[in-house]
Structure 1
Amino acid sequence: MRRDEDLIEEINALWLPVYPFMADHVVAASGVRSGKVLDFGPFAGGIAVSLLAKNSNFHAKVVDESERVLRSAAQWAREKGCASRLAVHRAPIEAILEPDGSFDLVTLRGAFFYLTPSLLREVKRVLRPGGFGWVGGGYGPLTPNEVITPIADLSRQLNEDLGKTRITDEEGERFLSSAGLSSCARISTEGGFWIEVIG
């Protein structure tokens, strides 16, 4: 991934109308209604803040190596009135520097810019038993067309400018196998290309 902070900030802001629908999907798919959320990587913040805004039983942590990503997440949380339940932490994104079983939900949006088998194993490691990881890219299955259509062309172009990587079903299955997670993760192509990891 070409780490261009201006492009990342533009994409994250462009997707603000999408994140509430992604948050709804994470809750619906996981059955998790409370607990700790980790939103990780350069496209983090939007899902976490949407979860906090919708449900006071969640606390969230946003982690990325960029201060700009973290500042944006903190600002969105202030605007939504949930800043007291959000922590931000600057750290490299090659690994998740958290204890085992720390989180009920883990989300990595835009993951195929930077995902590796070892990082996917980290997602599994930091999930509590019964937790849920949502790792991948796309708008998610609940985002309506009237939200997607106005931003789709610009979003596609910005992602291309960042060097977006596309992945096939077969490549995804090989990725799961190389991560050693075939028994506890599955590919979903509803609303994009996602890996769902069960803690």
Structure 2
Amino acid sequence: MKINARQYDAIAKSVFAPVYPLIADQIIEHTGITSGSCLDLGCGPGSLGAALARKTDLYLLFFDQSEEMLELCERTIDENGLRGRAGLLPGDIGSIALPDGSVDLIISRGSIFFWDDLPQAFREIYRVLAPGGKTFIGGGFGSAALKESIRRQMADRNQGKDQFGQKMRTNLGPEMRRRFEEGLQQAAINSFTILQDEEIGLWIRMHKPAVSNNSSCSTQRREK
């Protein structure tokens, strides 16, 4: 599915603007990672990564298959004073051009719902994740109240039609959670937690053990 980059950027900077600082706080809370390197997958114009960079000492690497999105992301880097603390990486989620174990934190909001091959994507994410590294990948709106506000604004933009609300309920619902769990199992990734509720949304927090051993990867943890 091709996304209109300019239109997406305009909505990100208006309707969705309050979402990113809240999700950045949630990333910090649930991963505890505030320094090192961070890969923002399917970054779009870079709104979430920039919000996280403003709150941490992380080096942000913005990854997207759309050159137009990366051009917008470069503007976001300049607007947020992130020169020297950020870079751009084009590519496809199924084959990330980074060395094994090279990234401390991997984040992504909304992109996962467009990934055709979840097991392969998860394998690549886990491959480039550094020992002790974590992910925060999925979808959410920062809070239940903000989610409802955005749903109403998007319905107004669509002449009262609630297609966005319907897609939102599908993307954050139980069937999508099952898809995530099945994809992780097929990718043979056991060290993960699913975070899901009305406030936070639906997120995957993988964790690569700092010391690889059979016992540290044998338990699958899930939260509701």
TM-score by length of 2: 0.74
SS of aligned partner of 2:131: strand
Q: How does 1:114-193 map to 2 (within 5 A)?
A: 114=115, 116-140=118-142, 143=143, 145=145, 147-153=146-152, 154=154, 157=163, 167-181=175-189, 183-190=190-197, 191-193=200-202
Post-superposition, which runs of at least 4 consecutive aligned residues in structure 1 deviate over 6 A?
none
Kindly indicate whether residue 18 of structure 2 is the aligned counterpart of residue 9 of structure 1.
Answer: no
Report the alpha carbon displacement of residue 129 of structure 1 after superposing the two structures with TM: 1.1
Offset from partner CA, 1:4-43 (integer Å, 9 cap, x none): 2245434533423211111111111111120100001154
Aligned residue in 1 for 2:33: 32
Alignment check: 8 A CA contact 1:5 1:68 kept = no
SS of aligned partner of 2:40: strand
Offset from partner CA, 1:59-83 (integer Å, 9 cap, x none): 1100111122112222222222223
- Closer, same or farther: CA 159–95 of 1 in aligned 2, 3 Å: farther
Q: How does 1:94-113 map to 2 (within 5 A)?
A: 94-110=94-110, 111-113=112-114
> Following the alignment from structure 1 to structure 2, what is the Cα–Cα distance between the partners of residues 93 and 169?
19
> Following the alignment from structure 1 to structure 2, what is the Cα–Cα distance between the partners of residues 42 and 157?
23
TM-score by length of 1: 0.83
- Closer, same or farther: CA 90–160 of 1 in aligned 2, 3 Å: farther
Match of 1:198 among 196, 207, 210: 207
Alignment check: 8 A CA contact 1:108 1:135 kept = yes
Alignment check: 8 A CA contact 1:12 1:43 kept = no
> Following the alignment from structure 2 to structure 1, what is the Cα–Cα distance between the partners of residues 8 and 43?
7
> Following the alignment from structure 1 to structure 2, what is the Cα–Cα distance between the partners of residues 44 and 101?
26
Give the RMSD, CA atoms, in angstroms: 2.6
Select the structure of larger CA radius of gyration.
Answer: 2
Report the alpha carbon displacement of residue 47 of structure 1 after superposing the two structures with TM: 1.9
Gaps of 5+ in 1: none
Q: Which moved more, 1:127-136 or 1:86-95?
A: 86-95
Aligned residue in 1 for 2:215: none
Gaps of 5+ in 2: 156-161, 209-224
Aligned residue in 1 for 2:220: none
* Percentage of matched positions with identical amino acids: 30
SS of aligned partner of 2:62: strand
Matched to 2:150, the amino acid is I
Per chain length, whose mean CA-contact separation is higher, i.e. which structure has more relative contact order (CA < 8 Å, sep 6+)? 1
